[in-house]
Amino acid sequence: MKFMIKNTQGSGLVKALLVMILGAAGVVGYLKWKKLKDEEAERSRPVSFAQKFETALQQLQSTDLVVGTGAEAHRGEKVTIHYVGKLPDGTVFDSSRSRNQPVSFPLGVAQALPGWDHGIEGMKAGGKRKIEVPPFLAYGETGVAGLVPPDTTVTFEIELLKVGVADDPITKKNIEIEKKAAADAKLAEAGRLKNGLQTKRNPAPPVKAKPARTVKPQAIAKPQKTSKSAPASKPSPSPKPKKKKK
């Protein structure tokens, strides 16, 4: 009898352990399934243009092969370059050198590849730079038929020949607008700083708060005592008519 009781208790413990193990396995399996679902939802979520652009800028890589000594290229200025474009396997798909025709364009005004606008900025004339441009800043999802496959990161070897002033009227106007906006922003910032310093040196005197006016409660009018009216006088009896003598 004692052996049967002990055996029953042992089997109960085994069952409890099995239930705990199965429960833990179920929780782990659910967590893995939920993680996979969350990752799938994150991948399927639409990405905005701004997010793609920021990600592509982070992927853009540049290496100076030769540091130039001439004028530095800034946005809006006209640059003249030689370039050699290569695929990831080293195949040259385009080259201005082979044609001996340098390319000129205003920098940063969407008249060239976005990868060029951001990769060439900061170079100095006479310098050479290697830039690795992700698809979003190069030829995108479509590529170039017969030259660049879709979604391909391309490499350009850039030689900056000259930095000058943009000569087309639209670019000139845009540059003037940007310079004026930058100057206005600097003036506004200087004004804010100046006002801040003056406020620190000559702080405004504290304003004394006037005591609040207390409104006295109006006295409640007491009901006036009504005087007792005198009792109405009785009407005097009318005189009796006199009898006529015959």
Residue 25 lies in a domain: no
User: Which range is least confidently modeled, 78-82, 190-194, 238-242?
Assistant: 238-242
In a domain, 192, yes or no: no
CATH code of 91's domain: 3.10.50.40
Q: 82 in a domain, yes or no?
A: yes
Q: What is the pLDDT of residues 22-55, one digit of tens each?
A: 677 776 777 777 777 777 766 666 768 888 889 9
pLDDT at residue 220 is higher than 60: no
Question: Is 42 among the domain residues?
Answer: no
- For the cut 80, the answer to whether the pLDDT of residue 244 exceeds it is no
Q: Is the pLDDT of residue 179 over 60?
A: yes
Give tens-digit pLDDT for 57-111: 999 999 999 999 999 999 889 999 999 999 999 999 999 999 999 999 999 888 8
Q: What angle do CA 63, 102, 96 make, to 5 degrees?
A: 70
pTM for this structure? 0.54
Residue 143 lies in a domain: yes
Q: Examine residue 69 and state whether it is found in any structural domain, yes or no.
A: yes
Cβ neighbors of 119 (< 8 A, separation 6 or more) are 60, 62, 129, 131, 133, 156, 158
Give Cα 155 to chain centroid, integer Å: 31
Q: Flag whether 122 is in a domain.
A: yes
- What's the number of domains the chain is made of? 1
* Domain membership of residue 141 as a residue range: 65-171
- Does residue 111 lie within any of the structural domains? yes
Per-residue confidence (pLDDT) for residue 2, from 0 to 100: 47
